[in-house]
Amino acid sequence: MISLLCYIYPLLICGYEPPEVTIGWSRIMGIRQEVNSNTKHDEKSMLNVFLGIPYAEPPLNSYRFRPPEPIKSVNYFGYYAGKFKPRCISPDYYEKFLGSTFDDQQEDCLYLNIWSPSNLTDPKDLKPVLVYVHDPSIDVRSIDGAKLSHRDDMVVITFDYRTGLFGLIEGYDNQISDNAIFHDTKAVLKWVQENISHLGGDPTKVTLFAEGKESVRAGLQFSYAINEKLFARMVTRNGPKLASFDTDQSIQWQDVLDVAEKVGCDQKKNQLLLLYCLRNSDAKDLINGYLSINGSSTSLNLSTITYSHMLNH
């Protein structure tokens, strides 16, 4: 609420003008965040923060189970980027973790968040960029990039990606696999190359940082895409040992057929018609169907656990 009032009455309520930049599809208005310098003088600094910026079209209906599409529309009225957007929905997430203060999860979830220490009025003040790929068990909104951004004088970016049933991507060979993390991360990296200079980041100094069990998968997949020059370096941390890690983590096609039967999509002999039916099914029905075939009687509960996860390593 305070951040919104700062946006409406910036000088009167908070004593400063909010950061504002223009990128391809819209004028974006962020917020300013005060950060302690952690010095003996306990000096404080201000960061430019932009939350909930879309990096692709919403993956709904015909875009479900497909690689993300670039944003095609133009926003002529400006976009307020001072609030987190809902996180991506996942059956595993709902099944395992209950009781979060966050209760807004939805399929329209391809958004990123930016913390920038740069002087946005100086086009030459460009900082290195860190794009952080979080473990899927963590709610991206609980990650605060402010400390790392301030401490290391870099632009920090977090983003959400599709997982579980909604992490399935249909391939050109009519196969389907759960590699949305690769496609969604690639869309973020492309967005960064096109737009980050307007937000104080240097597109030639982008580091991809993957942490947790997704780090190996991201590392293996992006090792093949490094020639596209979407990032300069990559770091993986706390991933499982490669020797004990099954890189083929795809949901089985039989699971997809079982979910389809649960939601009334009975076109098993025609994959195109089956996927068309699934794309037009309600997201909650799909999740409940997936949970029911995996030995769970738990229905979709829009509540999850919150992690106090800070990027302050």
In whole angstroms, give the CA distance from residue 112 to residue 157: 7
Residue 223 lies in a domain: yes
Question: At residue 61, what are phi and psi to the nearest 5 degrees?
Answer: 50, -115
Residue 296 lies in a domain: no
Q: Give the count of domains, the chain.
A: 1
Domain span including residue 89: 2-244
Residue 256 lies in a domain: no
Residue 301 lies in a domain: no
Find the CATH number of the domain harbouring 220: 3.40.50.1820
Torsion of CA 226, 171, 73, 279, to 10 degrees: -140
pLDDT digits (tens, 9 = 90+) for 225-280: 666 789 999 888 775 544 444 444 456 677 888 999 999 998 878 888 988 999 99
Return averaged pLDDT per consecutive 10 residues of the chain, 313 residues in all.
54 69 93 77 80 96 93 90 89 48 76 95 92 87 93 96 85 67 91 96 94 67 70 78 45 81 88 90 86 56 29 39
pLDDT of residue 303: 29
In whole angstroms, give the CA distance from residue 61 to residue 64: 5
Residue 257 lies in a domain: no
Residue 32 lies in a domain: yes
Complete DSSP assignment for 65-87:
TSPPPPP---EEEEEE-BSPPPE
Residue 204 lies in a domain: yes
Residue 34 lies in a domain: yes
pLDDT of residue 251: 64
pLDDT of residue 108: 95
